[in-house]
Chain A
Amino acid sequence: MRVVIADDEVLLRDGLDRLLTEAGFDVVGKAGTAQELRREVELAHPDVAIIDIKMPPTHTDEGLIAAQEIRASNPDVGVLVLSHYLQSRYAMRLIEQHTGGVGYLLKERVSGVGVLADALVRVHDGECVVDPTIVARLLGHARRASPLSQLTERECEVLAQMAEGRSNQGICARLMLSPKTVEGHVRNIFMKLGVGESADDHRRVLAILSYLRSRPE
């Protein structure tokens, strides 16, 4: 898989390069600013771009904006945004704009090559990826607690996988369940939460995150 890395920290950029190369990825470009990133994407045409959310000049959300621009201009390039922020609103901003091929991970995930590699593959496959810590937080004390309490333990696990962006197939592999069982759980979850079921994985993520983030009436 061809990957471009954008981070203004040289050490981290290089370390990530080596880590991914060792894990079998093909790092085809590196960038320190949003502008360099756009050029690298045009030149190297990677499968996925890994983008730090904080980039010069203001170090706030330049990376997020660059990611959205890339998704808009190069729909075949997936984007994986790395962030220090645990806030679901940044993830939502990213997912709301684009149908799949986007991911939002906490930056410290870079040291766990397994999670990073998994996320890259999934983004490349057009899925949505949401950091498990963020999902866990949302589920842990969702602002609408009552309907969630009706879910079984297993259903909660499935819901977390759905919120992280996994497809039914991905959930099967992850939880080692049969496709039929997963479909049953998914149907139950949608019914219990009162959220319209959607075949589209991307819409499904959005609906669940919105549900978890929404305020009680």
Chain B
Amino acid sequence: MARAVRFAVLAAGIAVGVFSLAIARRGAGDSISGGSVFAGAAELIAGYALLAVGLLASVRPRQGRFGAILVAASFAWFLLEWNNPAAGSAIVFTAGLALYAAAPPVVAHAMLAYPDGRVRWWPGRAGLALAYASAVAVLGLAAAAVFDPASEGCAQCPRNLLLIAGSNRMYASLNRTGMYLGLAWAVLLIPLAVAGLVRSAPASRRLAAPVVATGCVYLGLVAADFAHSLPRGFLGTDSVDLRLWLGEAAALCALSLGVTWAWVRARHTRAALARLVVELAESPSPGGLRDVLAAMLRDPSLQLAYPLADGRLVDARCRPVELTGEVTPIVRGGQQLALLSHRPGLLGEPALAGEVAAAASLVLENERLQAEALSQLENLRASRRRIVQAGDAARRRLGRDLHDGAQQRLVTLSLALRLAQTRLEPGPDPAVAERISEAGTQLRAALAGLRELAQGIFPEVLADEGLSAAVDALADEAGIPLKIVAMPAERFGSSVEAAAYFVVSETVRQSRASVRVSAARCDGRLVVEIAGAAAPTNIIELEDRVGTLGGSVEVSCGPDGQAKVRAEIPCES
């Protein structure tokens, strides 16, 4: 509704209220509220309450239709007075004749259509159709068509513009039919409204309960008035009618308050959410928002997923998320921040997803960025791992090439030299034989050096038989005594074995005294300890290698000045 239209409606509503009250005062004998100031005030308060709340609702997102229905109910409420002989004008009088019973179906409509103005359940729609038909078509239009004020003994009544042919009998029978139908639908819609409430999601149910409860009280009073009026044959203004009508006025005021209460509650929810979100923002923990939302919306199955640039859906800790149930996107500024999966209908109440987005946007954005950062970190880790693995593969290839190429050639060469030497042995020049013998010695030293080099680059045995065998071999070849205290016999991933091995071999290589080595699997980690060692100088290289696997290397110095190197390497596949 546009602003100007809303002001026009407000002015019209106020005017209609004053005008109706004026009619009631003038024709007090034929009016239900004309007799007392109290009743008049009640009429005005109930009607204006509906008008005010209806107009307020019309400006809220997704409640425009509901607001319009409430405004209509306000007008209908006042029209009750217009079929008064003191109406003064034929048009007003005729409108009153046609619509004096319209308030109950419109209020029922508002109740069933809460909160967004739509009645989604077909039995509700059917019940409303019956209500409108009986109140407007039967009691209003049809009855007016056969109602001749003069023949009914109302000389001062204005002209009935809808009159086709006056018939007292028809008039009475239509009134009776209308009242029977009215009693029927009013009684029928109460359980329907309650069933609709039970069917709705818990969060919506809590908000709708006050509106439905007051609406049902109102319908109960309407039904009671129909029942009271049946023997008499028309809707009258006796003292029972008056009391029931005052109750209806009170119920409508309560209904207006119920609608307002839902707004207050939503604001309160939002404020609580905002408070929690602020707390969360002050001490952010990844995934904290999901827990807060799950608790606030009382849905433990709730999941919050962030779409990454590569299309994956992850939670705040960057773990993949499989969305089940109903999925509501949380959009802000045209950008999809997150996806919320929840129990069906949980976010059925208007704007809750919007409320979440508004209140939590900072934390949402934060968690989304965090997930994104974690994902990049994971990619980076994977890339580091690949680099180390590629490096190991290259080292291994190099080691093999040394074994199979250079070393083999040198052995062949030393053999050839030996053969040459045997040929020369009885030769004339002993100096030549001596040179050759010297060359053979050099060659053997070169071979020994080469063997150590190849072994240091990447021991074949590590890839072939695992950590235990490789450390065993290291003990054979190391220049210092190496005591193996404990070594797991099982195999680990090749990266884990290589990392553990190089921590040991690098430390041993730089140590001058005997060292004790132990390794064991402990809580999903391979823990390697080297005691009595010198602190490895290339600790950063080792830290890098172990770090790519998410592990750590620590060097501590004992009281005896001997260092202890401890590496922990996650080894769960």
Binding site for B on A (CB under 8 A): 9, 11-12, 15-16, 18-19, 22, 54, 59-61, 84-89, 107-108, 110-113, 134, 137-138, 140-143, 145, 213, 215-216
Closest Cβ–Cβ distance, residue A142 to chain B (whole Å): 7
- Which of A9, A15, A137, A213 is the most central at the interface, judged by chain B CB atoms within 10 Å of its CB? A15
Checking B440, B473, B476, B483 against A111 with a beta-carbon cut-off of 8 angstroms, the contacting residue is: B440
Checking A18, A87, A215 against B476 with a beta-carbon cut-off of 8 angstroms, the contacting residue is: A87
Cβ of B480: which chain A residues have Cβ within 8 Å of it?
A: 141
Of B199-207, B362-370, B404-412, B532-540, which binds chain A? B404-412
Q: List 16 A-B contacts (CB under 8 A).
A: A12-B408, A19-B422, A84-B451, A84-B454, A89-B473, A107-B411, A108-B411, A108-B447, A110-B411, A110-B415, A111-B415, A111-B443, A112-B418, A142-B481, A143-B475, A143-B481
Checking A15, A60, A142, A215 against B485 with a beta-carbon cut-off of 8 angstroms, the contacting residue is: A215
Checking A113, A134, A145 against B418 with a beta-carbon cut-off of 8 angstroms, the contacting residue is: A113
Q: Which B455-495 residues sit within 8 Å CB-CB of chain A?
A: 455, 460-461, 464, 469, 472-473, 475-478, 480-485, 487
Q: Name the residue on A nearest B472 (C-beta).
A: A89
Cβ of A60: which chain B residues have Cβ within 8 Å of it?
A: 460, 464
**Do the beta carbons of A59 and B400 come within 8 Å of each other?**
yes
- Which of A85, A134, A216 is the most central at the interface, judged by chain B CB atoms within 10 Å of its CB? A85
Cβ of A61: which chain B residues have Cβ within 8 Å of it?
A: 464
CA distance in complex: A24, B487 (Å) = 48
**Do the beta carbons of A18 and B419 come within 8 Å of each other?**
yes
* A141 and B514 contact, Cβ closer than 8 Å, known pairs A12-B415, A110-B411, A110-B415: yes
Cβ of A142: which chain B residues have Cβ within 8 Å of it?
A: 481
Checking A84, A89, A143 against B403 with a beta-carbon cut-off of 8 angstroms, the contacting residue is: A84
Q: Name the residue on B nearest A88 (C-beta).
A: B476
* A87 and B415 contact, Cβ closer than 8 Å, known pairs A22-B422, A216-B483: no
CA distance in complex: A86, B455 (Å) = 10
CA distance in complex: A23, B451 (Å) = 28
Cβ of B484: which chain A residues have Cβ within 8 Å of it?
A: 143, 215
Closest Cβ–Cβ distance, residue A16 to chain B (whole Å): 6
**Do the beta carbons of B483 and A215 come within 8 Å of each other?**
yes
- Which of A22, A54, A108, A142 is the most central at the interface, judged by chain B CB atoms within 10 Å of its CB? A108
Cβ of B464: which chain A residues have Cβ within 8 Å of it?
A: 60-61
**Do the beta carbons of B476 and A134 come within 8 Å of each other?**
yes
Q: Name the residue on A nearest B421 (C-beta).
A: A111
Known: A15-B416, A111-B440, A141-B480. 17 other contacts (CB 8 A): A11-B416, A12-B408, A15-B419, A54-B403, A59-B400, A60-B464, A84-B403, A84-B454, A87-B476, A89-B461, A89-B472, A89-B476, A112-B418, A141-B482, A141-B514, A143-B481, A216-B483
Cβ of B440: which chain A residues have Cβ within 8 Å of it?
A: 111
Cβ of A107: which chain B residues have Cβ within 8 Å of it?
A: 407, 411
CA distance in complex: A1, B346 (Å) = 93
Cβ of A22: which chain B residues have Cβ within 8 Å of it?
A: 419, 422
Cβ of B483: which chain A residues have Cβ within 8 Å of it?
A: 143, 215-216
* A84 and B482 contact, Cβ closer than 8 Å, known pairs A9-B412, A15-B419, A137-B476: no
**Do the beta carbons of A86 and B476 come within 8 Å of each other?**
yes
* A54 and B415 contact, Cβ closer than 8 Å, known pairs A60-B464, A89-B473: no
Closest Cβ–Cβ distance, residue A117 to chain B (whole Å): 12
CA distance in complex: A59, B400 (Å) = 9
CA distance in complex: A108, B447 (Å) = 8
CA distance in complex: A134, B447 (Å) = 15
CA distance in complex: A86, B472 (Å) = 12
| Size category, B interface | 35 or more
**Per-residue interface assignment for chain B, residues 426 to 459, with 1 indicating a CB less than 8 Å from any chain A CB and 0 otherwise:** 0000000000000010011001100100110000
Checking A9, A16, A84, A87 against B477 with a beta-carbon cut-off of 8 angstroms, the contacting residue is: A87
**Do the beta carbons of B403 and A108 come within 8 Å of each other?**
no
Cβ of B412: which chain A residues have Cβ within 8 Å of it?
A: 9, 11-12, 15
**Do the beta carbons of A9 and B482 come within 8 Å of each other?**
no
**Do the beta carbons of A12 and B411 come within 8 Å of each other?**
yes
Q: Name the residue on A nearest B422 (C-beta).
A: A22
**Do the beta carbons of A87 and B461 come within 8 Å of each other?**
yes
CA distance in complex: A9, B403 (Å) = 13
Cβ of A145: which chain B residues have Cβ within 8 Å of it?
A: 481, 514
Cβ of A18: which chain B residues have Cβ within 8 Å of it?
A: 419
Cβ of A11: which chain B residues have Cβ within 8 Å of it?
A: 412, 416
CA distance in complex: A60, B459 (Å) = 12
Top 6 closest pairs, chain A to chain B, by CB: A141-B481, A111-B414, A15-B415, A111-B418, A87-B473, A12-B412
Cβ of B448: which chain A residues have Cβ within 8 Å of it?
A: 108
Cβ of A112: which chain B residues have Cβ within 8 Å of it?
A: 418
CA distance in complex: A16, B481 (Å) = 36
Asked if B417 is an interface residue, CB under 8 A from chain A, the answer is yes
Closest Cβ–Cβ distance, residue A132 to chain B (whole Å): 13
Closest Cβ–Cβ distance, residue B510 to chain A (whole Å): 16
**Do the beta carbons of B415 and A19 come within 8 Å of each other?**
yes
Closest Cβ–Cβ distance, residue B436 to chain A (whole Å): 11
Q: Name the residue on A nearest B402 (C-beta).
A: A84
* A16 and B415 contact, Cβ closer than 8 Å, known pairs A89-B469, A111-B444: yes
CA distance in complex: A215, B448 (Å) = 26
* A216 and B485 contact, Cβ closer than 8 Å, known pairs A12-B415, A19-B419: yes
Q: Name the residue on B nearest A61 (C-beta).
A: B464
Cβ of A54: which chain B residues have Cβ within 8 Å of it?
A: 403-404
Q: Name the residue on A nearest B448 (C-beta).
A: A108
Closest Cβ–Cβ distance, residue B87 to chain A (whole Å): 110
Q: Name the residue on A nearest B465 (C-beta).
A: A89
Cβ of B416: which chain A residues have Cβ within 8 Å of it?
A: 11, 15
Closest Cβ–Cβ distance, residue B332 to chain A (whole Å): 60
Q: Which B4-29 residues sit within 8 Å CB-CB of chain A?
A: none
Closest Cβ–Cβ distance, residue A88 to chain B (whole Å): 5
**Do the beta carbons of B411 and A138 come within 8 Å of each other?**
no
CA distance in complex: A88, B455 (Å) = 14
Cβ of A143: which chain B residues have Cβ within 8 Å of it?
A: 475, 481-484
CA distance in complex: A18, B485 (Å) = 48
- Which of B440, B475, B484, B485 is the most central at the interface, judged by chain A CB atoms within 10 Å of its CB? B475
Closest Cβ–Cβ distance, residue B445 to chain A (whole Å): 10
Q: Name the residue on B nearest A214 (C-beta).
A: B484
CA distance in complex: A18, B417 (Å) = 12
CA distance in complex: A169, B476 (Å) = 28
Q: Name the residue on A nearest B481 (C-beta).
A: A141
Cβ of A110: which chain B residues have Cβ within 8 Å of it?
A: 411, 414-415, 418
Checking A19, A86, A138 against B451 with a beta-carbon cut-off of 8 angstroms, the contacting residue is: A86
